[in-house]
Chain A
């Protein structure tokens, strides 16, 4: 899967979980999304796992700071 496809799919999952996020970009972080709480955080991870058919390490995920970091993480796991 190409990085661009991963980015688009990640954006779509963000919209599904958090609703309409204004100015969603790779630089968007948890700070920019109002309803990012603990429950939505784990729901986001579940949705991403389902969409990309992979299991994430939650402990790796918490170090990621923005959407771009998440895309990179998925891309690296996908190409591994």
Chain B
């Protein structure tokens, strides 16, 4: 078993190489590779990818590493950006590849969005501190069963039929939604959409970092929104890659909430295939309930199908906002960090933001 390591600086050449061309499936997409190459918190010698392939160029397992900086000291830590094992031939290589990645980053690794299975493996290694499960909610705003059937390649007839039904039901609920839009409790606020942030907003984040330990500066946040890991163009042949990389639509915008001329909140809003999430949110104390209403108004206006939230305070604020949700589904995700990072994470109150690690990119 020979484990290959690809550094951040070598990623652009790697995706052009014959080795990459022959690998199946691919351990990284070109969009991810170029994005990681531009990471302002990485240095070129950081290892971004660790993988094992068989003699026939079949990819057996890989683990990704994404460098971050922590607030205060600016020391670098790494999130695990993907751990994949070939379901048939790669099972023996899963743990060695992951441990290799862990060793490379000097055991300074965190996992912000893991499955219960992954968390149980990490816990059993004895090398990780596992966080309590993070409860989240998916708030459904509109009916989209027709779309769901189409995407899951069910019968075209039923997909069409349900789309019509969705339209009727959405028209009915839009009456109630518009009445709620009129009773806007947050009239004293204005909302600005921005494609990138400037140093003033970065200063606002610095003042209101919340419980996150990870540094989010202008360079990093703008790099994130300018370099997503999914593509929505239909050009080019499909790529053999184990995770989702092609979607129908994906966009991100910063929403700056102002009271008069003062910024009181900043949200990064991601919309993927009409489903919204808030990877990052920063706010002044006391405004979150109003921000939740403003967010709901915005999502209703842009006709978002659903919103996923793990941020505990925002979730609570949305739940008690009195706004209309078709229904709400409880969801759970898991997180953890290597024990080397105990001094950073375990000794103070912290929580990962929803988009922490590599979640924000997809």
Chain A interface residues toward B at CB < 8 A: 30-31, 36-39, 41-43, 46, 58-59, 62
Contacts and interface: CB of A to CB of B under 8 A. Distances in A.
A62 to B, nearest CB: 4
Given A38-B98, A38-B121, A58 B127 contact: yes
16 contacts: A30-B92, A31-B92, A36-B92, A37-B85, A37-B91, A38-B85, A38-B98, A39-B117, A39-B121, A42-B95, A42-B121, A46-B124, A58-B126, A58-B127, A59-B103, A62-B99
Interface string B121-133: 1001111000000
Contacts of B120: 39
Contacts of A58: 99, 125-127
B336 interface: no
A36 B90 CA distance: 10
B228 interface: no
B96 interface: yes
B54 to A, nearest CB: 12
Contacts of A30: 92
B126 to A, nearest CB: 8
Of the listed residues A31, A38, A42, A46, the one surrounded by the most CB atoms of chain B closer than 10 A to its CB is: A38
A39 B100 CA distance: 16
Given A30-B92, A37-B91, A38-B94, A62 B100 contact: yes
A58 B103 CA distance: 10
Contacts of B126: 46, 58
A62 B95 contact: yes
A58 B338 CA distance: 13
Interface of B: 85, 91-92, 94-96, 98-100, 103, 117, 120-121, 124-127
A43 B126 CA distance: 11
Given A43-B124, A46-B124, A58-B127, A36 B99 contact: no
B103 A41 contact: no
Q: Which of B85, B94, B95, B96 has the most CB of A within 10 A?
A: B95
A49 B2 CA distance: 27
Given A58-B99, A62-B96, A62-B100, A42 B91 contact: no
B127 to A, nearest CB: 7
A55 B17 CA distance: 42
A42 B92 CA distance: 11
B358 to A, nearest CB: 20
Nearest to A29: B92
Contacts of B121: 38-39, 42
A59 B124 contact: no
Contacts of B125: 42, 58
A39 to B, nearest CB: 5
A38 B95 contact: yes
A56 B216 CA distance: 38
A31 B121 CA distance: 20
Contacts of A41: 92, 94-95
Contacts of A42: 95, 121, 124-125
B92 A39 contact: no
